[in-house]
Amino acid sequence: MAHRWKNTLSRADVTPKAVFLNRRQLMAGTGAILGAGMLGGQARAQEALEPNSWEEITSYNNFYEFGTGKTDPAANAHMLTTDPWEITIDGMVDNPGTYSLAEILDGQTIEERIYRFRCVEAWSMVIPWNGFELADLLTRVGVQEGARYVAFETLVRPEEMPGQRSPILEWPYREGLRLDEAMHPLTLMATGLYGEPMPNQNGAPIRLVVPWKYGFKSIKSIVRITLTDEEPPTTWNMQNPREYGFYSNVNPQVDHPRWSQASERRVGGGLFARRIPTLMFNGYEEEVASLYEGMDLSEYY
Ligand code: MTE
């Protein structure tokens, strides 16, 4: 990867609230001068990156291990024990093993990344994650020649995860990336948000965040990472291959069989808020489009 991704927004953009208000006024001012329709894509994208509140991010979740309702994870996830925590890293790596979270985090610099987050269900948020690049971890364990994919698994613990007592999905929750997607500097192992440890309902103690893909690719509470030469089976693709592909890149031109993906509802926008247009690769086209050169993106959905 030629470049390391640079965060264009800093902590100062997250707090205090006055900063948001000023920026919004600034953007409104720019719009007034240029005419709203003439605002460049860059300016529009910046304007959209006003993080959702802590409340919104931690009370409206998808985490089927704790139930299928949006408020089930916040209600039930306190039951999950996240310390001690271990991750098994195996398959085509030089240093396979079961590592404690402390070993995984040892020497890692945790940085903040303010990313758009777009669920396949057509709602979205902007989330200030804390974490480190997955590429750093993979480099440390040593990816062997011939590895082409990375598979991830969430823990199975029905005693603490009431959703796992029903076969609503085939447990464990599984996800996967192509190796070059996993090594991309945007791909994050997230350990917190808003500078706080990751709340259980958001995937404590450590989860994946792949901001240009639909949210279900961003697997929570990871206990296994496997390097492999074959495309791994993934939960939603196994559940319904016609509706959920392995790639699942955000693409406003490829509709879900049951609804449009052209626009999205920003959580917290209020009852009468207008839907906002969904951006190609969720606004990260410049950074990631080259990964898919030569692929028909309507076929590899
Ligand atoms: N990871 C696990 N283990 N189980 C899940 O049900 N849901 C996915 C993803 N990761 C899910 C998961 C879906 S559909 C979405 S949209 C995001 O988590 C939601 O992340 P959030 O609750 O932090 O917004």
pLDDT in tens, 113-137: 999 999 999 999 999 999 999 999 9
Which of 55, 57, 62 should be mutated for ligand 1, with most atoms under 8 A from CB? 62
Averaged pLDDT, 102-121: 97
Those residues with Cβ within 8 angstroms of residue 245's Cβ, 6 or more apart along the chain or in another chain: 237, 300, 301
As for ligand 1, residues whose beta carbon falls within 6 Å of it are 61-65, 119, 154, 173, 202-203, 215-216, 218-221
Domains of the chain: 11-292 (3.90.420.10)
pLDDT of residue 19: 36
pLDDT of residue 18: 32
Nearest 5°: the CA angle 263, 116, 102 is 145
CA atoms within 13 A on the CB side of 50: 19
| Beta-ladder partners of 88 | 98, 224
Averaged pLDDT, 83-107: 98
| 189/110 Cα distance (integer angstroms) | 10
Higher pLDDT, 273 or 116: 116
Higher pLDDT, 298 or 74: 74
170: its two tokens: 């085939």
pLDDT of residue 272: 80
Q: Is 266 strand, coil or helix?
A: strand
pTM of the model: 0.87
Nearest atom (ligand 1) to Cα of 61: 22
Least confident of 9-13, 61-65, 104-108, 208-212: 9-13
Q: Residue 33: pLDDT above 60?
A: no
Q: Minimal CA–CA distance to 133: which of 3, 293, 290, 292? A: 3
CA of 220 to the centre of ligand 1 (A): 6
